[in-house]
Amino acid sequence: MKLKEEIVFLEIRQMIYAFLGSAFLNPPNSSQIQGILEQKLFVQFPLELDQADFLKGLKLLSRWTITNEDSQLEDILSQLQQDYSNLFVGPGHLLAPPWESVYLTDDKLTFGSPTLEVREFFRKHGLEYERINNDPDDHFGLEMEFMSKLIQMERHHLENQNLEDAIRLSNEHLFFLQEHVMKWADRFTQKVAEHAGTDYFQGLALLTRGYLTWDYELLQNRISLSNS
């Protein structure tokens, strides 16, 4: 792949991770949902993948887009915000807790050792997240946002033809996926897909799982080739 094509490819991956970060980290808001519907994001998605979960998710999201084209934004938001609260916020039992520690520690509570490991990894790359509601650092949305930031830094080095640092960041991306995201993403997205009350969040969960599977394999193959 030529340098310019690689930079564009990184930009697309960065954009998708940034979107996933925002979608899981924050409740849906009017400007976000209006933009998605007006731009028909899921009908004209910027990445085409032959991956089963990704395609199922995109189909659900496209259906959600078409179904809601003529609906009142206020009604759409009300449904999505209720679904988001039921899944990730509460009150009461969360249908899909969005924190790594809940899935990877014996007591299944927040602020476990994965939280501290993730926080340290963020700091290593000059990133610290101040969450108003004191969410732990290992929130799925923050991990997606971090992936976007890593790709942004990799793209910057590539644009300046600093190949060594670009490769180093690609390796870091793979390491973080390996040691954190991929250890719990399947279980988390499965819970979201099973318990979501809207096509939007069910589709988002499947698209996310498919995209992460693809991106992880992509990085593994690229690094394997570069080391051979």
Question: 139 in helix, strand or coil?
Answer: strand
Tell me the angle at which helices 3-25 and 140-159 cross, rounded to the nearest 10 degrees.
160
Question: In the prediction, which pLDDT does 130 show?
Answer: 65
Question: In the prediction, which pLDDT does 196 show?
Answer: 99
Q: Within 13 Å and on the Cβ side, how many CA atoms surround 162? A: 11
DSSP state of 161: T
- Maximum distance among all alpha carbons in the chain? 55
Decide: 65 and 44 in contact? Cβ < 8 Å.
no
Q: How confident is the model at residue 101 (pLDDT cuts 50, 70, 90)?
A: very high
Question: 28 in helix, strand or coil?
Answer: coil
Q: How confident is the model at residue 228 (pLDDT cuts 50, 70, 90)?
A: low
The model's pLDDT over 104-161, given as tens digits with 9 standing for 90+, comes to 999 998 999 999 999 999 999 988 876 645 779 999 999 999 999 999 999 999 999 9
Domains of the chain: 3-87+94-227 (1.10.3480.10)
Rounded (to 5) percent helix, strand, coil in the chain: 70, 0, 25
Decide: 118 and 180 in contact? Cβ < 8 Å.
yes
Question: In the prediction, which pLDDT does 132 show?
Answer: 45
- Give the span between the Cα atoms of 53 and 47, in whole angstroms: 14
- Give the span between the Cα atoms of 59 and 45, in whole angstroms: 11
Mean per-residue pLDDT over the chain, rounded: 94
Average confidence (pLDDT) over 56-84: 97
- Give the span between the Cα atoms of 11 and 65, in whole angstroms: 24
